[in-house]
Amino acid sequence: MMKKTVSLFLGALLSLGLLAGCGQKDDKTIVVGASAVPHAEILENAREDLKALGYNLEIKVFNDYVLPNKALSEGELDANFFQHIPYLEEMNKAENLGLTWTVKVHIEPMGLYSEKITDVADLKDGATIAIPNDATNGSRALKLLAANDLIELKDTEIASVLDITANPKNLKFTELDAPALPRTLVDVDAAVINMNYALEGGLNPLADALLIEGSESPYANVLAVREADKDSDKIKALNKVLNNENTKKFIEEKYEGSIFPAF
């Protein structure tokens, strides 16, 4: 009986040791959710720099703007990298997700694209324009059009089509999920598309966009984390590699000005 008890005790200690070992291994793996382009590519480029700091990187690719924040809030991810600050703040507030951001990485200027016209001056009266259906990106799209005198808007932080005060071309707006926008170009006169989905859809922002945001855009893409983890060692390591010279050079050379560093 004594031998059996000792064996059980040693077995328990061994199990605890194995569990502790697994925990330590997990502590050296950083799981990040990201959009495929350019976010996952930027992370992949930083993999070796992160490894030099003692961490392994696991990238989980998402193709929407909702699931990555929920997965992060629920502990399935250590961080995510796909969104700008206004979107994060809006969703965080609406869903009470307990998220924050740590570093700005790059800016993806939003653009207006079309398969029907090659100059924005050729937009016909009553033309249909597709825009993202989430509040922050929809607002951003409308502000791009307003900045180029296609419409006028009320002075408000988050604008919707209800805030249009002048519409000289009688433009009609269709609000759709952001990932679907490149596919709608065959059906609408033009669409305002987020840079990552434009790139995924085979569009060249510098060559194909009829209108595009400038470097003054406030929509920097950031690393999002849970508030409780923002000062953890693994997040500090991730911050460091995403704001180093290697990342800056990669962004500048890989995307040739279609996106640009925000640090």
Is the Cα torsion angle 148, 153, 158, 162 positive or negative in sign?
A: negative
Q: 6 vs 170, which has greater pLDDT?
A: 170
Q: For residue 17, is pLDDT > 90? A: no
Give the pLDDT score at 15. 40
Give the pLDDT score at 19. 38
Q: Can you tell me the distance from the alpha carbon of 64 to that of 71, in angstroms, rounded to the nearest whole number?
A: 12
Give 257's pLDDT tier (boundaries 50, 70, 90): confident
Give 97's pLDDT tier (boundaries 50, 70, 90): very high
Across the chain, mean pLDDT equals: 90
Q: For residue 2, is pLDDT > 50? A: no
Q: Can you tell me the distance from the alpha carbon of 5 to that of 25, in angstroms, rounded to the nearest whole number?
A: 30
For residues 96-100, average pLDDT: 97
Give 20's pLDDT tier (boundaries 50, 70, 90): very low
Give the pLDDT score at 16. 39
Q: Can you tell me the distance from the alpha carbon of 230 to that of 233, in angstroms, rounded to the nearest whole number?
A: 9
Give the pLDDT score at 25. 43
Tens of pLDDT, residue by residue over 102-138, are 999 999 999 999 999 999 999 999 999 999 999 999 9
Give 10's pLDDT tier (boundaries 50, 70, 90): very low
Q: Which pair of structure tokens corresponds to residue 89?
A: 């703040």
Q: For residue 7, is pLDDT > 60? A: no
Among 22-31, 165-174, 248-257, the least confident range: 22-31
Give the pLDDT score at 5. 41
Give the pLDDT score at 221. 97
Q: Which DSSP letter does residue 193 get? A: E
Give the pLDDT score at 214. 80
Is the Cα torsion angle 40, 193, 217, 72 positive or negative in sign?
A: negative
Say what percent of the chain tops pLDDT 70. 90
Domains of the chain, with CATH numbers?
2-108+219-261 (3.40.190.10), 111-212 (3.40.190.10)
Q: Which pair of structure tokens corresponds to residue 169?
A: 């071309």
Q: 201 vs 4, which has greater pLDDT?
A: 201
Q: For residue 1, is pLDDT > 80? A: no
3-state SS, residue 98:
coil
Q: In 3D, which of 249, 224, 236 has the Cα closest to residue 98?
A: 224
CB atoms within 10 A of CB 27: 13
Tell me the whole-structure pTM to 2 decimals. 0.80
Give the pLDDT score at 218. 83
Give the pLDDT score at 215. 72
3-state SS, residue 178:
helix
Q: For residue 68, is pLDDT > 90? A: yes
Burial 162-188 (b: 16+ CB within 10 A, else e): ebbeeeeeebebeebebbebbebbeeb
Torsion of Cα atoms, 220 then 224 then 229 then 232, to 10°: -50
Q: Can you tell me the distance from the alpha carbon of 204 to that of 183, in angstroms, rounded to the nearest whole number?
A: 15
